[in-house]
Amino acid sequence: MSNELSVLLKSNPALVTTGLDEDTLAVAGGSVATTSGNKRISIAGGVFRKMANGKEIGAIEDRHMNIIFVKMAHDPSRTFYAEAYKEGEKVSPTCWSSDSKKPDSDVKSPVATTCDQCPNSAKGSGTGGTGTACRLSWRTAVVLPNDPKGDIMQLVIPATSAFGKEDSGRWPFKAYINMLAQNNVSAGRVVTKMQFDTKTKYAKVLFSPSAAVAEEDYETVKAQGKSATAENAVKLTVYQQDGGADEVAAPEAAEPVKRESAPKAAKAEGNDVTDIVKKWSKKA
């Protein structure tokens, strides 16, 4: 950053709060994809970790953490890697889909015309005959409830945490959002508790409502969801060796990873989650 820009930003901090406009993004091109969405929350290894530029900058020991969803991809995405994932190594996917329905237009050699016809998306096609060879995941953008104006972080939710049924007042991501919608509640209006499922041997998280977003923070949450950082966080971008976007395969999007038994989840602070769920689950 030039000294002139640094001085300008210090005296005019509002310059960076509105995100990038369409013209700036268009001209800057691919270089933006590697910088604006570089902060994320990882669940690899059964630990919540904050990552920046591919490096861990913090982790929490608690088995749960609270977040606010500011933006979510409308559909899950798919990526198929012919080569196995290796820590820190950039590998180009063979095929990918932004909507999990058909390969993206920039896929040079699609495995199939549509995802539902692809053998790599069939159950049992994954490593050891479990899961699917083509990784299904859901991209979201979140902020922390105690700092809604702070960092927007990407949260990539793997299939094992995205789909399934309710479990004692906790839901996989898709079922959780459905539950909120059925009760006429937008995801951005609630603080969501994200908690590891200690009954599984791999890193799986479930979601539940914890509290309402404070009214004074709601406009901030909406503005964060409209930012370029949030837009990039929910967009599928893949590393291509001949040039293109630059997303490295994330461990949490891979096949289930075995982890050590976790301690009993800490009791949530504030409103009782069970009471909230029961209240929202009552039929009119």
pLDDT of residue 251: 41
Instruction: Convert 168-201 into a string of H (helix), E (strand) and C (coil).
Output: CCCECHHHHHHHHHHCCCCHHHEEEEEEECCCCC
Q: If you count DSSP H runs as helices and E runs as strands, how many of each does the chain have, helices first?
A: 7, 10
Is the Cβ–Cβ distance between 93 and 238 less than 8 Å? yes
pLDDT of residue 37: 46
Strand partners, 142: 69, 153
SS3 (DSSP) at 213: coil
pTM for the structure as a whole: 0.74
For residues 215 and 71, give the distance between their C-alpha atoms in angstroms, rounded to a whole number: 18
List the chain pLDDT tens, one digit each, 284 residues. Answer: 545 655 665 566 555 444 555 556 555 554 444 344 479 999 988 999 999 888 888 888 899 999 999 999 999 999 998 877 666 677 788 999 999 999 999 999 999 999 999 999 998 888 777 789 999 999 999 999 999 999 999 999 999 999 999 999 999 999 999 999 999 999 999 999 999 998 888 899 999 999 999 999 999 999 999 999 999 999 998 866 554 444 444 444 444 433 333 334 333 344 444 455 455 444 33
pLDDT of residue 87: 62
Is the Cβ–Cβ distance between 67 and 145 less than 8 Å? yes
Token readout for 180 is: 């909120």
pLDDT of residue 80: 93
